Amino acid sequence: MNVGTSDAALLASEPRGILAPPYRAATVGMVALISLIAFEALAVTTAMPTVARDLDGLKAYALAFGGVLATSVIGMTLSGHWSDRNGPAPAMWTGLTGFVAGLLIAGFAHDMPTLLVGRLVQGLGAGCLSPALYVIVGRLYPDVLRPKVFAAFSAGWVVPALIGPALSGAIVEHVGWRWVFLGMPVLAIPAAAALRGALRSLGKPTGKAGIDTRRRMARAVGAALGVCLLFVAGQEHGWLAAAMLAPALVLLLTCGRRLLPAGTLRAARGLPAVIALRGVAASAFFGTEAFLPLAFAREHGLSPMWSGIGISVGAIGWFSGSWYQGHYAKVSRQTLIRRGTAMMVVGVVVASLSTFAWMPVSASVAGWLLTGLGMGMLYGTLAVLALSMSAEHEQGANSSALQLCEALMVATTLAIGGSLFAALLDLSHTAAFAANFAITVTLAVLGTVVARRTEARAAP
């Protein structure tokens, strides 16, 4: 059964779930793709030290990660434009082609430059996939089912977060790091094939988006260069790091803000605040997560295994919060947002107290669980709101903006936090951790302010 736009009212009135016959293949295909992208990202993090050693590429270590994020910015921008102009199919298939091609190039690489090329192509493809998946959700599923779809997306991230590092470590140790890359296409292609029916039913959207493509892509390239500079600056020290950080931030501010809807940086009421909150909340979460394992190890003497278990609690919380907002919440989306941001403030504050040796690790882990619960309630809710506030021909651009804001703000937060940490580490470990966590606590508090502005203005 093809599900077109004309069927939306009929399907919305029927008591169907996301695994009902009209949606089953699309749901399974999308969740499988998200799980594979998540597993690959975590697996590469585990494998990259071995890769850099084998290919004599330690100096390019940062670009192996930063380059993927940078080209994903370009991919997200392209995907949003194509989806609003021609439907999500071109962006989906282009993204899949780039993702698989990048994996193959990296898997067969015999030197670090070739591997970097593969990673750049891979990032471009993954960036194209993400907004296209959101557009499929917006156009295929009725409003009542969208929270459940995004809860399923969260589930697609949780399992790789729990087993990915251990499984990829076993692959690297017993089979070889190349199979971290080469094994993914075998699974990604069948997952994407499950979406063929849904994509055929979703043609060009009604309405016409007024987008200056050339200027938008030039800004995307500028923002991507800024992301690359941020990652490289994070590997340097002293004046060289500062010299690279300044132009990176300028590029991100001047180019990045023009990729987002007007008013996003000042969290104007409605859609701009929704997009801004996605970036603020993600920055608070991932900025804390980046340094929490190190605080557990340095200040409390935890082994890598126990530090990893403590961090995985946040992923469990995220999934639980997302499942709650998708299946059990009986309150408004704005209420979920306010509760989620409040939980994040308390959670980040408690987790960040792991900076001090007197703070029980169990209490910090409980704080991190609370942070994950709040983030889970927020993440899917913001996606649902962004789609509900978008006309059909704007869903691609706004889904792209949602993810662009997250990517750019997280990269900036990690770069600034990492630079402060490195600058203060010789002075005091406590000061270094406190400086980074002060940023994430501030962002969490800022989230509660932005949350009050996410409700759309009433029609006059």
425 and 351 co-located in one domain:
yes
2 and 143 co-located in one domain:
yes
Average pLDDT over every residue of 103-120: 92
Average pLDDT over every residue of 277-305: 87
- Tell which wins on pLDDT, 57 or 353: 353
Is 409 a domain residue?
yes
Is 130 a domain residue?
yes
pLDDT-based confidence at 14, cuts 50/70/90?
very low
Q: How far is CA 367 from the centre of its chain?
A: 22
Residue where one domain finishes, among candidates 187, 205, 223:
205
Is 226 a domain residue?
no
Rounded Cα distance between 75 and 399, Å, is 12
Q: What is the pLDDT of residue 460?
A: 45
pLDDT in tens, 381-419: 999 999 999 888 888 889 999 999 998 898 888 888 877
User: What six digits make up the tokens of 221?
Assistant: 């390239």
Question: DSSP assignment, residue 458?
Answer: P
- Residue 187: CB atoms within 10 A of its CB come to 15
Q: What is the pLDDT of residue 429?
A: 81
Which residue type is seen at 121? V
Rounded Cα distance between 316 and 320, Å, is 6
Residue where one domain finishes, among candidates 160, 189, 205:
205
Rounded Cα distance between 188 and 186, Å, is 6
179 and 66 co-located in one domain:
yes
pLDDT-based confidence at 257, cuts 50/70/90?
confident
Rounded Cα distance between 218 and 255, Å, is 8
Residue where one domain finishes, among candidates 157, 175, 205:
205
Q: What is the pLDDT of residue 453?
A: 93
Angle, CA of 194, 197 and 202, to the nearest 5°: 125
Least confident of 60-64, 157-161, 343-347, 385-389: 60-64
Rounded Cα distance between 28 and 295, Å, is 38
186 and 294 co-located in one domain:
no
pLDDT-based confidence at 210, cuts 50/70/90?
low
- Tell which wins on pLDDT, 158 or 124: 124
Q: What is the mean pLDDT of the chain?
A: 85
189 and 97 co-located in one domain:
yes
Is 374 a domain residue?
yes
Residues 160 and 79: beta-carbon distance below 8 Å: no
- Tell which wins on pLDDT, 2 or 282: 282
Q: What is the pLDDT of residue 158?
A: 80
Per-residue pLDDT at 439 exceeds 80: yes
Least confident of 11-15, 18-22, 100-104, 195-199: 11-15
79 and 180 co-located in one domain:
yes
Q: What is the pLDDT of residue 85?
A: 87
201 and 268 co-located in one domain:
no
pLDDT in tens, 66-83: 788 889 999 999 999 888
Per-residue pLDDT at 93 exceeds 90: yes
177 and 288 co-located in one domain:
no
Least confident of 137-151, 346-360, 418-432, 437-451: 418-432
Helices (H), 175-303: 178-182, 184-193, 196-201, 213-234, 238-251, 271-300
How is 362-388 classified by DSSP, letter by letter?
Answer: HHHHHHHHHHHHHHHHHHHHHHHHHHH
304 and 451 co-located in one domain:
yes
How is 312-375 classified by DSSP, letter by letter?
Answer: HHHHHHHHHHHHHHHHT--S-HHHHHHHHHHHHHHHHHHHHGGGSTTS-HHHHHHHHHHHHHHH
Average pLDDT over every residue of 233-256: 79
3-class secondary structure, 360: coil
Q: What is the pLDDT of residue 457?
A: 64
Per-residue pLDDT at 216 exceeds 60: yes
pLDDT-based confidence at 438, cuts 50/70/90?
very high
Is 225 a domain residue?
no
Q: What is the pLDDT of residue 11?
A: 42
User: What six digits make up the tokens of 121?
Assistant: 């192509």
Q: What is the pLDDT of residue 209?
A: 60
Which residue type is seen at 179? W
Domain residues for 291? 263-460
Is 245 a domain residue?
no
Q: Which CATH number do you get for residue 132? A: 1.20.1250.20
Which residue type is seen at 309? I
47 and 176 co-located in one domain:
yes
Quick one: residue 176, left, alpha or beta (phi over 0 = left, psi -120 to 50 = alpha)? left
Question: DSSP assignment, residue 391?
Answer: -
User: What six digits make up the tokens of 375?
Assistant: 């983030």
Q: What is the pLDDT of residue 236?
A: 66
Q: How many domains does the chain have?
A: 2
Place of tokens 């809860």: 151
271 and 168 co-located in one domain:
no
Q: Of 417, 421, 437, 438, nearest to 429 (Cα)?
A: 421
Is 312 a domain residue?
yes
194 and 268 co-located in one domain:
no
Q: What is the pLDDT of residue 208?
A: 65
Per-residue pLDDT at 13 exceeds 50: no
User: What six digits make up the tokens of 228?
Assistant: 């690359």
Average pLDDT over every residue of 304-322: 84
Is 424 a domain residue?
yes
pLDDT-based confidence at 420, cuts 50/70/90?
confident
